[in-house]
């Protein structure tokens, strides 16, 4: 049955919503089956949109440079329309050739980092264990990225980590070399770095290639399940004795929540009829993109009053020098990657071009 609410309801706030369904029928002799539910649905928040900068180009200069900024650590994706195709990734979009004013859209996927499992090996008694192929059983209900786990080896050597699924296939198998002396509390973080899709009865075990002499495991004190919200959970040890906790502590996990709201960035195409000076100095930047070192190649005669200046997209002057030849080298020392504006000025005419430092 499909039901449409007669009055709109607001489900926009982040949180869990419970739905219960009931019926009331005349002459119904059995009212025990008149209710169904409740069913719970979680509404995830939408991250705030990034900020964008538009660009204006002349008809004959039909490639625009758009920029976007989001929270620290995110990757900006560029779309050709809302809900459309991803056409590029990164803070800067150099558009394809355009002849008309065109809108592009920037958004990013928000990551939800956290930890799962026992925080460390102090949850109960235990000790080093050198009979391997034991570990933990876990399940995943939404895709997660497993970044690392922490182990407590008794000595230096190799640690083999294997992650398998319910049918026995390996999703991950690698050997980590512990070379530094075991100091302090003995914790060693092992990088994993894989995406795990939803599934049940996954296992993470220490393999027979482990040569450290032993890994710490608790023989009591475990309290399953160890949940990562509603996305994943460690459900028990591989030996079935739920007081045990084998080897792998403090799992570093991140999940992709969802895309932020998209933000429009407009590449404006202008006839530039009032900018006479742009056609009076012709120069090339070689190479472009570059690493901060490039040549200004003037295609016209220069005079001793010709200067080159470089600004960042906020307008701050990075460099300003007098050009003394038609093939002038510019060195931008220790600048960040991004878009910069190169301007040539001979006191009568001036023109500018964009460069990308990679």
How confident is the model over 260-273, as a mean pLDDT? 82
- How far is the C-alpha of 294 from the C-alpha of 355, rounded, in Å? 10
- In the chain the domains, ranked by start, together with CATH numbers, are 46-274 (2.60.120.820), 275-357 (2.60.40.3080)
Three state DSSP letters for 116-174 = ECCCCCCCCCEEEECCCCCEEEEEECCCEEEEEEEECECCCEEEEEEEECCCCCEEEEE
How confident is the model over 62-88, as a mean pLDDT? 86
pLDDT category of residue 336 using cuts at 50, 70 and 90: confident
Which pair of tokens denotes residue 324? 């003394």
Answer whether residue 183 shows pLDDT above 80: no
Report pTM.
0.50
Digit-coded pLDDT (tens) for 227-261: 998 889 999 999 999 999 999 999 999 876 678 88
pLDDT category of residue 207 using cuts at 50, 70 and 90: very high
How confident is the model over 178-189, as a mean pLDDT? 78
- How far is the C-alpha of 321 from the C-alpha of 328, rounded, in Å? 10
Contact between 106 and 68 (Cβ < 8 Å): yes
Lowest mean pLDDT among 165-174, 267-276, 329-338: 267-276
What is the three-class DSSP state of 343? strand
- How far is the C-alpha of 310 from the C-alpha of 205, rounded, in Å? 56
Task: Write down the mean pLDDT value for the chain.
Answer: 85
Answer whether residue 118 shows pLDDT above 80: yes
Q: Which of 24-38, 194-208, 262-276, 333-347 has the highest mean pLDDT?
A: 194-208
- How far is the C-alpha of 290 from the C-alpha of 311, rounded, in Å? 15
Which pair of tokens denotes residue 86? 């991803």
Digit-coded pLDDT (tens) for 90-105: 888 888 888 889 999 9
């Amino acid at each position: 049955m499909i039901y449409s609410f007669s009055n709109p309801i607001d489900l926009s706030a982040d949180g869990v919503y419970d739905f219960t369904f009931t019926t009331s029928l005349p002459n119904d002799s059995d009212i025990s089956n008149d209710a169904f539910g409740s069913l719970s649905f979680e509404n995830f928040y939408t991250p705030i949109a990034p900020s964008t900068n538009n660009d204006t180009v002349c008809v004959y200069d039909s490639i625009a440079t758009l920029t976007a900024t989001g929270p620290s650590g995110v990757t900006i994706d560029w779309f050709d329309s809302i809900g459309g195709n991803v056409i590029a990734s990164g803070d800067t979009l150099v558009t394809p050739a355009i002849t008309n004013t065109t809108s592009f859209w920037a958004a990013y996927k928000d990551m939800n980092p956290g930890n799962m499992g026992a925080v460390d090996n102090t949850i109960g008694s235990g000790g080093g264990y050198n009979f391997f192929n034991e570990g933990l059983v876990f399940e995943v209900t939404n895709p997660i990225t497993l970044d690392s786990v922490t182990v407590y080896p008794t000595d230096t050597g190799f640690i083999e980590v294997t992650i398998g699924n319910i049918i026995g296939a390996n999703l991950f198998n690698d050997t980590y070399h512990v070379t530094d002396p075991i100091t302090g509390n003995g914790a060693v973080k092992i990088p994993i770095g894989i995406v795990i899709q939803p599934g049940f009865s996954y296992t993470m075990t220490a393999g027979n290639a482990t040569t450290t002499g032993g890994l710490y495991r608790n023989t009591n004190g475990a309290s399953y399940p160890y949940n990562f919200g509603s996305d994943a959970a460690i459900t028990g040890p591989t030996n079935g004795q739920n007081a045990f906790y084998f080897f792998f502590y403090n799992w570093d996990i991140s999940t992709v929540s969802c895309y932020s709201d998209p933000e429009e960035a407009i590449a404006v195409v202008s006839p530039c009829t009032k900018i006479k000076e742009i056609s009076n100095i012709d120069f090339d930047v070689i190479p472009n993109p570059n690493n901060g070192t490039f040549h200004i190649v003037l295609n016209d005669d220069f005079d001793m009053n010709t200067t080159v200046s470089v600004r960042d997209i906020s307008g701050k002057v990075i460099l300003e020098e007098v050009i003394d030849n038609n093939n002038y080298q510019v060195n931008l020392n220790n600048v960040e990657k991004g878009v910069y504006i190169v301007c040539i000025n001979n006191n009568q005419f001036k023109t500018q071009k964009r460069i990308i430092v990679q």
